[in-house]
Chain A
Amino acid sequence: MTSLKPKLGTRQLFIVFGLGIPLVVYCLFVVGPTLSIFLESLFRWNGLSPNKKFVGLKNYTDLFGNPMFLSAISHTVFLLLVSTAVTMGIAIFFAVTLVQSRLPERGIFRVMFFFPNVLSVVVIGIIFRYVYAPNTGILNSALEAFGIEGPIWLGDARTVLWAISGAMVWQAMGYYMLIYMAGLDDIPPSLYEAADLDGASKFRQFIHITIPMLWDIIRVTLVFYIISSLNLSFTFVRIMTDAGPNKASEVLLTFMYDQAFENGNFGYAMAAAFVIFVLSFGLALLSDKLTERKDF
């Protein structure tokens, strides 16, 4: 048995180093920062000076008393709701039609729809600025061809959030479509064959077979979509409108960022960051709860 001893030693050494280093790095750059968001949010601090004052929960009470912050919450929730609903709806619809269709070109559609997902969000944001531009934009001059005078999409408080949602849907739709297509491939065809024999319509098959069979995937994608589009909202807003016009498209992340880097108000920004962190978990948990499988 003694001959096993050194071997056991290398095994332990390998585990300690192979796992220890990534663990330390992970703690330093992921876990530590997350914890420090909460800790730092209890201070008033500009991020640079040694002057750091403990203020307790004052940053939070200030935040929720700030109408700018409250409207940033409602803009964020609006973007998430609209882009989630539209993206999921279109993605499921196209996934089902592509999987069930006999179209010879469906492979090409798949490749095309997924493509925006590999592009940089910065690039997408800039391109959509040109799509939505009032005079030189693609969208309005296309509308003009139909005799419609398009709004100033990104310059009008009434349309700006819809326009940003449009870009978000454009970016994400193909990715979710592919996930649903993968899920649809796992549904046994015999279920549809049986339904066909019973004379069930395509629509009934969709409601009673497709949706229930996809339900678990839909739930997971919903949670991921909420978290990822919350994150993407920063870049989309930053590039497309920089929170304008007149803060009409301010979202939580741009609010947080400007508090830190424009106003030098790091403690306050950390409090906003913590609210975002809680909100993203809250929304994810909520959507998970709401979609919990009752009996189908």
Chain B
Amino acid sequence: MGAHLKGRLSPGEWVVRCLLAISALVIIFPLLWTFYTSFKTNEEFLGSIWSLPKVWNWDNYIRAFEVAKIGSYFINSIFLTLMAIAFMFLMGLPAAYILSRMEFRFRKVIFAFFMSGMFISTTYTVLPIFLMLNKVKLLNNLPVLAFVYAATTLSYNIFLMAGFFRGISKDYEDAAEIDGCGYLQKIGLVIVPLSRSGLFVVVLFAFMSYWNEYVLGFTVLRDRALMTLPIGLANLMEIQQFATDWGAMFAGLVTVMIPTMLVYIFVQKYLTAGISIGGLKG
């Protein structure tokens, strides 16, 4: 918008520019360093930490996938994330619709009851959730974990979706009703298409939080074959034998970052806009 330079920058603006550039370097350099280090051999890494790899080879990635099973963690992460998003919408969409667009007794109370969940965190409810799943022998089960992800993020997502739905004019719905649409059709054919940019933000936030989740997954998934990327990576770091294989570790780090990085590059406009629409995530 108004970013046109009127003449030259003042000395003050140069100071600000330098300050910003240094901070940007502090943010970006560790990531850049992780990226190029993932192509260095272990000897190169120990020899000089700053230097670029002499040869950009994929050996570290091959080891990360073959020995450290990063590939199977990757597939688990995708499966878990998609399923959790599906569960979340199955439950959250109708609830958000009902709470934002229908009038009935106790509506406000129920909404407030749901919203109070935004202040409760799985970092401590993980204990009772673990005990509960252990009792019914449902630990080490990805669909169940996906369901728990959906359930524990329901409050926040209903809050966001109800906010988006509230802004839709009643006329569209009335028209659909005259055409004989039922509730589910109204949600699918009117509400969802009309709030798609908002729902896109919901999907993004949900993707990020499920893809990166650690505490619950780490507690519930004890079977290595079921681990997701963050859990597998943390595990990789802990196992001593891999701690000395820097290369595979860095290759693993990059593998976890790539999908979020790609998503970020393509959608950062929506994401940053979402921050101002959706406000805060818990």
Contact = CB atoms under 8 A, between A and B. Distances in A.
A286 interface: no
B61 interface: no
Contact of A266 (B6, B20, B127, B208): B127
- Say whether chain A's binding surface is mostly helix, strand, loop, or mixed: helix
A14 B102 CA distance: 11
B98 A14 contact: yes
B30 A30 contact: no
A18 B97 contact: yes
Given A10-B182, A110-B272, A123-B256, A224 B104 contact: no
Nearest to B218: A238
Secondary structure class of chain B's binding surface, majority of residues: helix
Contact of A182 (B127, B129, B211, B276): B276
B179 interface: no
A235 B150 CA distance: 20
Q: Give the size category of A's interface with B.
A: 35 or more
A97 B20 contact: yes
B268 interface: yes
Interface string A40-78: 100000011000000000000000000000000000000
B119 A281 contact: yes
A272 to B, nearest CB: 8
Interface in B195-244: 208, 211-212, 214-215, 219, 229-231, 233-234, 237
Q: Chain A CB within 10 Å — which of B5, B30, B104, B129 has the most?
A: B30
A103 B150 CA distance: 42
Contacts of B65: none
Interface in A165-217: 170, 174-175, 178-179, 182, 185
A25 B264 CA distance: 31
Contacts of B134: 47-48
Nearest to A14: B183
Contacts of A23: 95, 110, 114
A126 B233 CA distance: 9
A29 B129 contact: yes
Given A126-B233, A141-B49, A179-B280, A120 B214 contact: yes
B99 to A, nearest CB: 7
A266 B119 CA distance: 23
B128 A32 contact: yes
B151 to A, nearest CB: 4
Interface stretch (A79-87, A156-164, A253-261, A287-295): A253-261
Contact of B49 (A28, A138, A174, A256): A138
A174 B5 CA distance: 25
B27 A15 contact: no
Given A33-B125, A94-B23, A101 B33 contact: no
A37 B272 CA distance: 36
B275 interface: yes
Contact of A123 (B6, B20, B28, B253): B253
26 contacts: A18-B183, A22-B92, A22-B114, A25-B147, A25-B150, A26-B114, A26-B151, A101-B13, A102-B6, A103-B17, A114-B271, A115-B264, A119-B212, A120-B260, A127-B31, A127-B253, A131-B30, A141-B49, A224-B280, A224-B282, A228-B281, A228-B282, A253-B123, A256-B124, A260-B127, A276-B124
Given A29-B129, A102-B2, A239-B234, 7 more contacts: A97-B20, A108-B24, A113-B24, A115-B261, A121-B214, A126-B249, A230-B121
